[in-house]
Amino acid sequence: MSSIATSQSDFEQAQKLLPGGVNSPVRAFKSVGGTPRFIARAAGSRIWDVDGNEYIDYVGSWGPMILGHTHPDVVKGVQETAALGMSFGAPCELEIDLARLVIDMVPGIEVVRFVNSGSEATMSALRLARGFTGRDKIVKFEGGYHGHADGLLVKAGSGAATFGVPDSAGVPADYAKLTLTAPFNDMEAVKKLFAENRGEIACIIVEPVPGNTGVMDLYSTGFLQGLRDLCTEDGALLIFDEVMCGFRVAAGGAQQRFGIAPDLTCLGKIIGGGLPVGAYGGREEIMRLISPDGPVYQAGTLSGNPLAMRAGLETLSRLRDPKLYETLEAKSARLVEGLLDGCKKAGVAATANRFGSMFTVFFTGADACNDYQDVCNCDLEFFGRYFNAMLDEGVYLAPSQFEASFVSAAHSDEDIDNTIAAAGRALAKITT
């Protein structure tokens, strides 16, 4: 590998100025070790660091770059719109255009509100669910990430479902108590929470394709349908947090792919095409409770700004081509098979989960990885060595075993071949 001296000195400076040298924790490479690369530019499937090293990028800004970096139409659209003014704090027509497109694409959304991040979307959706049901408690799953709002930084203690304890300093315990948690794919635990808190649970919030524990499967186990049925029976709302899997596993998200309708949907990442956008939407009857139509307050100075709306429009409108998802599916399947095959040849125990173009390879002897505890049992130390060896080979994967990697429309067949070959070399290096 060529030098990373500039990234190293950038990181030293950044650490003096920013907590951990970063503005979002996972970028600091804490769980994998090594020096985070400072990125200078990107194009298509590639990113280049400040020392000029080139990487095939499977992070894609954590998903938004589904068309690849610097797609010419997206760049041109954003440049055009920027020249007309970047934010007005007043309505603009691009908001109508993007709302129409989102409502058209996502089956469960009849009315939508735009915000500036996924965290804002989930936090606001929870407030809305509480406002609609008049109930205070919420259910989330162990290891499920829904942004950094107080009540969502909670996971279960070990063992059975229990009352929440905060995961972060600064979250009041009294507040965290309103968050009930259960393991993924454990329907009995969820039913028990509902039985013990009858009439008090406002909603279940779940990533229908979890990506923030590494990708896992809640669909073929019947778990998602179970949650839908339970919410309907109880009068609680089902919130699909599709910030990551929305527009990723299908044009209409996981709800379209699986044919299961949530009451509310949270969106982020791809919806902004790389600019800060989030959204929450759902059944009209619920959405009409939001201010100024109704009593649930939520606002945003930069929400719906023309620049972000344009980036979203240019990106989403290009996702309506069904061919795009077919090609992504085929490329991603070939990549993951190739990576697993490489592990097998190197004598490394591994399994993988993949929906469409989001995937995680787990280093474990277990047959499957479908709850948080399974991922905790993976060889996390080995993952760190694999990640860094891949980086040395010019492949930029998500820097944690608890994350998904993403294939974009800009990844070529040659990129996939080169990645599989790089993985073979990386494994040879770290297993001998």
Upstream peptide bond of 306 is cis (omega within 30 degrees of 0)? no
CB under 8 Å to 231, separation ≥6 — which residues?
203, 204, 237, 238, 263
- Least distance from C-beta 249 to ligand PLP, angstroms? 12
- Least distance from C-beta 123 to ligand PLP, angstroms? 9
Tell me, yes or no, if 234 is annotated catalytic.
Answer: no
Nearer to ligand PLP, 122 or 364 (CB): 122
Helical ranges in 134-221 per DSSP H: 173-176, 187-196
Which of 173, 180, 233, 188 lies closest to 204, judged by CA? 180
Beta strands in 207-334 (DSSP E): 237-241, 264-267, 278-282
CA 306, CA 312: separation in Å to the nearest integer? 10
Q: What is the dihedral of CA 141, 143, 149, 154, to 10 degrees?
A: 70
Bridge partners (DSSP) listed for residue 69 = 44
**Can you give the binding site for ligand PLP, defined by CB under 6 A?**
117-119, 122, 145-147, 207, 211-212, 241, 243-244, 268, 278
Tell me, yes or no, if 145 is annotated catalytic.
Answer: yes
Triad 107, 110, 115: Cα angle to 5°: 100
CA 86, CA 308: separation in Å to the nearest integer? 9
- Least distance from C-beta 398 to ligand PLP, angstroms? 11
Nearer to ligand PLP, 119 or 303 (CB): 119
- Least distance from C-beta 212 to ligand PLP, angstroms? 5
The single residue of 140, 155, 269, 331 carrying the catalytic annotation is: 269
State the CB neighbour count (10 A cutoff) for residue 429. Answer: 14
186 DSSP 8-state letter = -
- Least distance from C-beta 50 to ligand PLP, angstroms? 24
The single residue of 55, 58, 145, 325 carrying the catalytic annotation is: 145
- Least distance from C-beta 268 to ligand PLP, angstroms? 4
Triad 349, 350, 351: Cα angle to 5°: 145
Nearer to ligand PLP, 183 or 210 (CB): 210
Q: Which residue is nearest to ligand PLP (CB)?
A: 118
Nearer to ligand PLP, 4 or 65 (CB): 65
The single residue of 234, 241, 374, 415 carrying the catalytic annotation is: 241
Q: Output phi, psi for 271, to 5 deg.
A: -60, -20
CA 166, CA 189: separation in Å to the nearest integer? 20
Nearer to ligand PLP, 182 or 343 (CB): 182
Nearer to ligand PLP, 147 or 424 (CB): 147
Residue positions annotated with a catalytic role: 145, 241, 269
